[in-house]
Amino acid sequence: MVCPGKEHWQVVKCILRYLKSTTNVGLTFDGAKMSYSVVGYVDLDFAGDLDKRRSLIGYLFTLSGSANSWKATLQVTVALSTTNRKENGRSGDVGGRSFIDEYLGWLLKIKVVEELMLLGKIAFPMAISSLLLHSKSIISMLFLGHLGHIELAGGSLAIGFANVTGYSLIKGLAMGMEPMCCQAYGAKKWAILSQTYKKTLCILFLATIPISLLWLYMEPILLWSGQDQNVTSIARVYITYSIPELLAQAHLLPLRIFMRTQNLTKPVAIGVIFATILHFPINYLLIIHLNLGVKGVALASFWNTINLSLGLLAYLILSRTAIKPWRNKQLVDTYNERTFNAKSSETHMESSVIKCQNKTMVHTISFIEGWQPLIALMLPSVLSVCLEWWWYEIMLLLCGLQDNPQASVAAIGILIQATGLLYVVPYSLSTGLSTRVGQELGAGHPSQARRATIVGLIVSFICGLLTFAFTISVKDWWGKMYTKEQQILDLTSLALP
């Protein structure tokens, strides 16, 4: 055994990179801490063959404090196949497929399937719940179309205005909490997870105050922009009775993210199923039976959101595994540590007072701190969501300036519903992938995060092709679900592909 010199340094670095890259694909090392250092080079051929410099045994490294760092069953094979492969490649002598190549190829397939299952475990229930949540809007549009084409146009205009000025803002603010919650969950920082949820809830409720005031005075704004008087009057009624829905969404959005970051997507999907089942009879009760008209459509949406929120809260209360935002284990541990060091000479009553004071102080300090990172994440999130949503709603407002504003606005409203439906799958995939990557980064596994990203990109490309094919196939009959007006149907069929 001799110490490797400069002539071997390139292959040493190559092998080191290989060893580091395999720590997360099944070839594990002993020990918790890992250090990489070269201790020697064993070569039966080196003395007699200075040109090829091939290794029959390989380099030895200290990994976790031991030169024998591979699993016992792979030690000899890995040393021979890996090192010879690297040296032969550098000398131009490319051999056949080595054992380690075949092993890693098989292992890669296993890891891809595993990653698909992990991603699907989050994204599939999310897709189901998102489809059902979107069906709420479709049902509302169906009832608006049943009331009349002016009601359909007015409701579409109100929904567009609400998306631009309200729902896009609170959704963007809520999405700002997702990176912090995902990484906090991956790092098992339950305190950060709970406090981020509470802070987001406060910010969203504060944001609904100016939004609600704007909605109350939307009619003069729309008339000033040149919208039709009859359509604007219907839109004003609809959006006024949508203010309770805004408040309910401000509570539901962070609650869904809080549960999703814990991989609790199945309870959300089940809750959405029950809320959607109740949504149709609630619409019928309010719109047809009680004859509330457009008011009933808006109130039915609020009722649906409340049913879902109550279902998710009931799950958090009854579940034994879910992290509850009102119970913070890390804060309790901190408070217990502080109170444990209290003087033993204090009476039981005095100790209780100190415990209560310490507990209150810990909760107060933890809630006050950490606002700046959350707000810093919320601002770009709001910007991205608003830019994404506003393009559609700007088109809706422009349609109100056409020669036949009622037909144009109704058609673009139907198109927005179709686009929203098609957006469900990529949105669920994107959110599920974001959750996976955040959890792996929080747990300190960047290679798993990179693998999840690659798998997600491949799946998203396939989903994009399927979505395009679906759009082409339904363009002629999609609008018939909402209305029988031929002009609206022609506009919808023309613009949908």
Where are the domains positioned within the chain? 6-96, 111-321+379-495
pLDDT at 251: 93
Token pair, residue 40, equals 């020697």
Q: How many CB atoms lie within 10 A of CB 417?
A: 21
Q: Give me the half-sphere count of Cα atoms (radius 13 Å) on the Cβ side of residue 464.
A: 7
Residue 361: what pLDDT? 54
Q: How many CB atoms are closer than 10 A to CB 144?
A: 29
The C-alpha atoms of residue 418 and residue 496 are separated, in whole angstroms, by: 8
pLDDT recorded at residue 20: 61
**What is the mean pLDDT of each successive set of 10 residues along the chain, which is 497 residues long?**
49 60 47 46 41 41 40 37 41 42 54 79 81 81 84 86 88 88 83 88 93 91 84 91 94 91 86 90 90 91 93 90 71 39 41 47 58 85 83 75 78 78 81 82 80 84 86 79 78 75
pTM above 0.75, yes or no: no
350-361 burial: b if 16+ Cβ within 10 Å, else e: eeeeebeebbee
What is the rounded distance in angstroms from the CA atom of residue 215 to the CA atom of residue 221?
A: 10
Per-residue model confidence (pLDDT) at position 249: 93
Position 119 scores a pLDDT of 82
> What pLDDT was estimated at residue 101?
52
pLDDT at 415: 80
Specify burial of residue 484 (Cβ count, 10 A radius: 0-12, 13-18, 19+). exposed
3-class secondary structure per residue, the chain: CECCCHHHHHHHHHHHHHHHHCCCCCCCCCCCCCCCEEEEEECCCCCCCCCCCCCCCEEEEEECCECCCCCCCCHHHHHHHHHHHHHHHHHCCCCCCCHHHHHHHHHHHHHHHHHHHHHHHHHHHHHHHHHHHHHHHHHHHHHHHHHCHHHHHHHHHHHHHHHHHHHHHHHHHHHCCHHHHHHHHHCCCHHHHHHHHHHHHHHHHHHHHHHHHHHHCHHHHHHHCCCCHHHHHHHHHHHHCCHHHHHHHHHHHHHHHHHHCCCCHHHHHHHHHHHHHHHHHHHHHHHHHCCCCHHHHHHHHHHHHHHHHHHHHHHHHHCCCCCCCCCCHHHHHHHHHHHHCCCCCCCHHHHHHHHHHHHHHHHHHHHHCCHHHHHHHHHHHHHHHHHHHHHHHHHHHHHCCCCCHHHHHHHHHHHHHHHHHHHHHHHHHHHHHHHHHHHHHHCCCHHHHHHHHHHHHHHHHHHHHHHHHHHHHHCCCHHHHCCCCHHHHHHHHHHCC
